[in-house]
Structure 1
Amino acid sequence: MANFPSLKLIEVCKVSPPPTAAAPSSLPLTFFDLMWLRFHPIQRLFFYEFPSNEVSFHDVIVPKLKNSLSLTLQGDGVSMTVAESDDNFYHLSGNGFREVSEFHPLVPQLPVSHNRAAVIAIQVTKFQNKGFSIGISNHHGILDGRSSTSFIKSWAQICIEESFIPTPKQMPLYDRSVINDPKDLAKIYAKAWKDVEGPNNKSLNLKFPQTKHGLVRSTLEFTHQNIQKLKEWILNKKIKNENFDSSSHISSFAIATAYLCVCTAKLEGLKEGKLWFGFAADARTRLKPQVPLNYFGNCLVGGYTSLERFELLSENGIILACDEISKAIRKLDDGALNGSENWGSMMSQATNDYSKIQAISLAGSPRFGVYNADFGFGKPKKVEIVSAESPYVFPLTDSQNSDVVMEIGVVRERDEMEAFVTIFNQGFESFFNDQHWDHC
């Protein structure tokens, strides 16, 4: 009989802020928040190796994490679970194939009911004497990736230095008046949620996608060399072909996501119709007036484009995808809130049945710098976005490896994963050999 890894719960407690904490007792939800009101929680997992055998998990690490978390909190208390796992630390914190279900015991459930929802829940798990993980579940209706990451980094900084005093730009800004809502979008979005299982349904219960059994997770890397090689190949093709615009800037983001779109099209083969690609973008610098970067809450807008599958499979597929994604980004820069009247109903309907979402989308961002979250025990060995469990969702993070621009999380059935990894790696090889990619 197989031995399955087990998790032993040591403690479940509530960490409260110090009595001197001075945060607002309540905050209204803006239309940016309401868009994500019942979306599933975002779950991230940070793996840390023990700095040495002399550092005690229970006597040093856990007390430091609890104390610094208390000092970081400025509102309600947070549930913290302490556990021990006999699973393989290096297997889980690697890049290879791992069952998505292996990560579920390491991230806490977010306490949510019909009329009340927690903002954050935390779990710290020890792996024998190898290392530990910090699992964080965030309510997406309260904070986005930038806010979540800034909270984690503040906690880490205070864990290193309890007397750390953040600068005004590092302090979370709770002022909701910086979000203008002249179209009364908050009211429109609230009605969309009430109507989804209506009439007048005010439930705060979150909607969870159905996870297929047998899915595996893997991490692929875009190195600086790979991105540069793709960029050179695209520019050379554009210069030789007058039908392409070679004047506009090509971002690493556009190149990487275009490459993922082509890889997906190749994996799925000759299918008719379009492949849709959507992405969330930080709106703080795109709104007029701009919203401060330390604004604590949601401030995301969505961009999207559709790509003809037969074009993606052609020799110039990556160029076409790159151009369309770049156009979608420029559209957001020109009018971030265009079409925003419909976002609430689109999100409430999509969240009601996640299986209808057949577009490629992203989670996270390499700009968040999650690998800088050092609690005084070293930088993370690995960071995973556990809640991204769909073959259509690619998590993006930075990397602990200086040669890597970004890490890409991929979730697939095992045979599809093997095929996708082959397509991903062979595509780079063909560019390096300056061959037509459609021959690989």
Structure 2
Amino acid sequence: MAADGGIMSVRKSAAVMVRPDGETPNGFYYLSSLDQAIPFTIKTIYAFNRSGDDLGDVMRKALAKVLVHYYPLMGRMVVNSQGEFIVELTNKGVPFVEAVANCNVNVIGDVRVPNPDTTRKLVYDDPASTNIFDAPLLTVQVTKFRCGGFTLGIGVNHCLTDGISGMNFVNSWAEMARAAPISSIPFHDRTLLKTRVPPQISGPYDDVVDVIDSSNMESYYQKEELISRSFHFNSKMLEKIKKMALVEGNLKNCSTFAALSALIWRARSKAFNMKPHQLTKLRIMVDFRQKFKGLPEGFFGNGVTTVGCVCTSGELTEKPMSFAVEKIKNAIATVTEEYVRSKIDFVGLYKPQLTSVGTLVISSWTRLAYGCSDFGWGDPTNFGCGDLARELCVMFNEGDDKNKRMAVVLALPESVMDNLEKALDEMCA
């Protein structure tokens, strides 16, 4: 048993391999160019207020059942003859760790705001893994707390899932734990998103524009600690921001997402003290499942692409907020099935290397059904990402339809984060 020190102490058992409770395919599993562009691990933490004495047994047995349907998560990453990532299917299972914490589950706080120490204690990392090729595609840790609550810590390779696919997996696992039938059967044929021959590219794509750091922003990351913080917006604040977004522009209406994205983009650019001529880029994650006619319900894979908005810092911060909102709204409107197919061809052909300098990436988690992950002891009371890339901003819903609230979580160097808070206060005053 290994022990972690600090305020929260967690004892982890040795990992056991949970194998599928049934036959699964062999061979190789195709990954689209969109999948291959994101070969890193996403960590998430679910917190529950209660459990049972049979917690570990229930979670392990249900995992064995659900892996029959989500078998690619047991594979290993390899490279094919074309130099592309592909998954070699195995039935060896996934590492499963049971752990015990010395405190109540509320000690972990709001897991939407990543804490490296908390993530290290609640999400299992295979110590034998040194690269993507020997790392498990999925790891699971179930931690029981003194109060009876528990956390589920998951690490999954982003090549295999986006947020919706990952949530479908967890919710299917929860259904298995409750002895309920799976409500969404995963569809595994990713060749529907295969690169066309010959490629048919209709760019350009602002989300891959290279941004030169003429404002010395990189120095903040080199000198200061990266910290995560959340900002909360109640319904009155959101309405005020939407009204601000329509001042002096040609828009008659806009979404809460577009208005809040514009606000954060402007405030973050100010927080970095960008020079007026500094290019600043906003990349928006867009789910294209409903726009892609040939993609069946239950598609398991990355059904998201990005669109981009680029301008100078001077334009962004000196022009009315409607300038940014209009760019965001127009960019999102470009996402059609043909845009997605062209983007797949572009990424497959050029394999663009995305840099984070001067870039903000916004991902909305407002539609993820994490409130449906009931393993038999109630829905999770807390859910969040275990870590954040330095350019990433995540939006969460708070409240309900009648009293809409939103939370925005991002990571920045400490002094830049302080500047961001001041900029938001000034802009929302």
TM range (shorter): 0.7 to 0.9
- 1:151-206 C-alpha deviation (Å, 9 max, x unpaired): 011112222x21x2234xx1101123433432367xxxxxxxxxxxxxxxxxxxxx
Q: Secondary structure at the match of 1:83?
A: strand
Contact 1:83 1:126 (8 Å CA) reproduced: yes
Aligned residues: 377
Counterpart of 2:370 in structure 1 is: 370
User: Does the C-alpha gap of structure 1 residues 367 and 422 become closer, same or farther in structure 2, counting only changes over 3 Å?
Assistant: same
- Match 1:73 to one of 60, 67, 70: 67
Q: Residue 175 in 1 paired to residue 169 in 2?
A: no
For 2:104 and 2:425, locate their aligned partners in 1 and report how far apart those are by CA, in whole Å: 27
- Match 2:241 to one of 204, 207, 230: 230
User: Does the C-alpha gap of structure 1 residues 348 and 80 become closer, same or farther in structure 2, counting only changes over 3 Å?
Assistant: farther
More helix by share: 1
User: Does the C-alpha gap of structure 1 residues 427 and 63 become closer, same or farther in structure 2, counting only changes over 3 Å?
Assistant: farther
Contact 1:99 1:215 (8 Å CA) reproduced: no
For 1:313 and 1:87, locate their aligned partners in 2 and report how far apart those are by CA, in whole Å: 46
Counterpart of 1:30 in structure 2 is: 32
User: Does the C-alpha gap of structure 1 residues 217 and 246 become closer, same or farther in structure 2, counting only changes over 3 Å?
Assistant: closer
Alignment TM-score, normalising by the size of structure 2: 0.77
Counterpart of 2:291 in structure 1 is: 286
Counterpart of 2:156 in structure 1 is: 138
For 1:362 and 1:178, locate their aligned partners in 2 and report how far apart those are by CA, in whole Å: 26
Contact 2:115 2:387 (8 Å CA) reproduced: no
Counterpart of 1:396 in structure 2 is: 395
Contact 1:156 1:376 (8 Å CA) reproduced: yes
Counterpart of 1:217 in structure 2 is: 228
For 1:17 and 1:96, locate their aligned partners in 2 and report how far apart those are by CA, in whole Å: 31
Q: Which residues of 2 match residues 407-422 of structure 1 at below 5 A?
A: 407-422=407-422
Structure 2 stretches lacking a partner, 5+ long: 75-92, 200-220
Counterpart of 1:438 in structure 2 is: none
- Match 1:106 to one of 119, 122, 130: 122
Alignment TM-score, normalising by the size of structure 1: 0.75
Contact 1:307 1:321 (8 Å CA) reproduced: no
Identity of aligned residues (%): 19
User: Does the C-alpha gap of structure 1 residues 347 and 96 become closer, same or farther in structure 2, counting only changes over 3 Å?
Assistant: same
> Structure 2 counterpart of 1:396, which letter?
M
Counterpart of 1:320 in structure 2 is: 323
For 1:96 and 1:341, locate their aligned partners in 2 and report how far apart those are by CA, in whole Å: 34
**CA drift at 1:309:** 1.4
- 1:42-73 C-alpha deviation (Å, 9 max, x unpaired): 111112222xxxx54xx322222112212211
**CA drift at 1:423:** 3.3
- 1:9-40 C-alpha deviation (Å, 9 max, x unpaired): 12421112212x5557542222232222xx22
Structure 1 stretches lacking a partner, 5+ long: 186-209, 431-440
Counterpart of 2:141 in structure 1 is: 123
Counterpart of 2:45 in structure 1 is: 45
For 2:163 and 2:364, locate their aligned partners in 1 and report how far apart those are by CA, in whole Å: 6
Q: Superposition RMSD on alpha carbons, in Å?
A: 3.1
For 2:326 and 2:318, locate their aligned partners in 1 and report how far apart those are by CA, in whole Å: 15
User: Does the C-alpha gap of structure 1 residues 103 and 88 become closer, same or farther in structure 2, counting only changes over 3 Å?
Assistant: farther
**CA drift at 1:95:** 7.4
For 1:121 and 1:97, locate their aligned partners in 2 and report how far apart those are by CA, in whole Å: 21
- Match 2:110 to one of 65, 83, 94: 94
For 1:145 and 1:212, locate their aligned partners in 2 and report how far apart those are by CA, in whole Å: 32
